[in-house]
Amino acid sequence: MCGIVGAMYFDRARAVEEAHLRAMADRIVHRGPDDHGYHVDGNVGIGMRRLSIIDLSGGHQPMFSPDRSKAIVYNGELYNFRDERAELEKRGRAFETRSDTEVVLAAYETYGDDFLSRLNGMFGLAVHDRARGTLTLARDRLGIKPLYYLVDDEKLVFASEIKAVLAFPGVQATLDPEGLAAFLRYGFTPPPYTLFKGVRKLPSASILTATGRDVRVREYWRPTYRDKHQGELGEVAEGLYALLADAVDLQMVADVPLGAFLSGGMDSSGIVHLMREAGAERISTYSIGFGATHAMHSELPEARRFAEDYKTDHHEIVVEPDMAELFPRLLTALDEPVADSSFLVTYLVSRLARESVTVILSGVGGDELFGGYRRYLNTRLNRYVEWIPRPLRANVIAPLARRLPADRNSRLLNSLRLARAFLGHADLAPVDQYREYTTVFSPDATHALLGAQGEIPDYHRRLYEECDSADPLDQVMYFDLRMSLPEQLLMLTDKMTMATSLEARVPYLDHRVVEYAARIPSEMKIRGTTLREVQRRALRGRLPSYVFDRRKRGFGAPVGAWVRNDLAEMVGDLLGPTRLRHQGLFDAPTVERMLADHQAMRADYSDQILALLGFQLWSEHYLGAGGPTM
């Protein structure tokens, strides 16, 4: 695990300077505190910072082919490197180290651009091939590891984090207005956008090839939702369990201490169970919670009970953070803001885990694969709503729903919030309903905030049409798998764990598990109003029964309540009318109305306020007190 950097001048006579690579790598030393290395070959230079996980003494990067015509830097882990190494040795390849990175480079030499199909892992990588005159960048199938790049008239610059790209001479931190509009719409920046003009995000499952000035990006993998499994639920569930067991077993390979995040829910409890089944005698687990005021967000009691039953070496942290100090620091680590409060708790529990382990297994991805989000229920509940006459829905139920109070810090008010969202959009098609549920600021709201703006792609519609299934559940889950999962949840997981020099692994996102799950019929994922039916069947009888009775709880912080209390001063400063009018970016009356409605619990604007607050902190850090530069 590490962070990678590099540059390529299109003018072959212009040499990259190693000092510039070092300056880039110095900005991401947290990703690799154990080692660093650089290689310059004329107009191309690559470098890395390494967190040693496998082959602690022999895994130095960059690594080279035997004739030194090819060089690689690799951020991630190749879980099937032992099998691939054995296959390559049969083909006559000799190896000098036990490192997975050397196996990746050998696969590139052997299979060419098709080498990515051989890799089971998470990665952002770069290969310089002097013989072909190419620089190749690639990101793993699910986007577990990030990779950013900039292309202008004279060069290509890339890195694992944006702050490293900005460290290259001549690269300026300038706001991209289209990136801002996209961020407000989705709560994260969908690829290829970032908030920085000129800096682009390589999409998941993509490979970039630069041959001189010719820079091309193409997709190399896409899951299919066709050809559904034909067996009974029990048979499909057993097949899923076998794959999950193999994925966890593969991802436990490490030469350093390894643990697991534990919430007490099915995803994390299942991983701990499978770790024990794979032979782990002593497992370190880590949980996070809040005080009595925010007990709804606390996972400690359920996690503690499971840890006691499984006799893990359990660690807990109760969150009482100084938000005024923590918010700005974590926004800098993220590179870009996200309208998802789980980055806060991810950082804090990662910091706790790093005190005793270097690698952590996480349950991220289970909701997107097995149907775990309550918003997925709309694809099933619509059939009942259709029994209600349309005039009654439009003229009575929807107006009443909009008047319901909403607050995520109360189970009752949170249920009313969900009912309000569903009933208020019940007349829309399922995929359009989903757009309303998962959009932070609607197009109209974004226009009210920003005024005139460029046309932002409708990624919901694009991905629904791209999905090779007409089932509404498949379509909305495909959207999450390709968009919000990699660019929000996995991005913040990577940035927050790496900020503490902790490597996070996500066994549910082994691409074989993803491909298998995509072919599970939707009625096996959601049966009636029961979420995750196939996952429940796979784990029932293996996990304690109380795991299945646990209430669904999002992994996040009580930001909505903090806005009214702990963060009130920060909100008043950064989102107050004086600051907004001076900044000249957001419409002050629109923000003022939003804050007033949230304060009075007439609406829950937690995500919207978090997005605006995060952007303001990001702007102060990267663009300076003078505000955005368009």
Active site residues: 2
- H helix runs in 278-341, sequence order: 300-310, 323-334
**SS3 state of residue 410:** coil
- Reduced to 3 DSSP states, what percent helix, strand and coil does the chain have, rounded to the nearest 5? 50, 15, 35
**Using H for helix, E for strand and C for coil, what is the string for 129-147?**
ECCCCEEEEEECCCCCCCC
Distance CA 255, CA 252 (A): 10
- Give the pair of three-digit tokens for residue 156: 């290509």
For residue 523, what are the contacts with CB-CB under 8 A and spacing of at least 6?
A: none
Backbone phi, then psi, for 25, in 5-degree steps? Answer: -65, -30
- By CB atoms closer than 10 A (0-12, 13-18, 19+), residue 214 is exposed
Terminal Cα distance for the chain, rounded: 36
Q: Which residue in 332, 193, 166, 353 sits closest to 259, CA to CA?
A: 353
Distance CA 418, CA 594 (A): 19
- By CB atoms closer than 10 A (0-12, 13-18, 19+), residue 220 is middle
C-alpha distances out from residue 194 to 20, 219, 328, 439, 543, Å? 23, 19, 19, 17, 42
Cis peptide before 192 (omega within 30 of 0): yes
For residue 178, what are the contacts with CB-CB under 8 A and spacing of at least 6?
A: 193, 453, 454, 456
Q: Under the phi-then-psi rule, with left for phi > 0, alpha for psi from -120 to 50, and beta for the rest, what region is 346?
A: alpha
Look up residue 29 and give its amino acid.
Answer: V
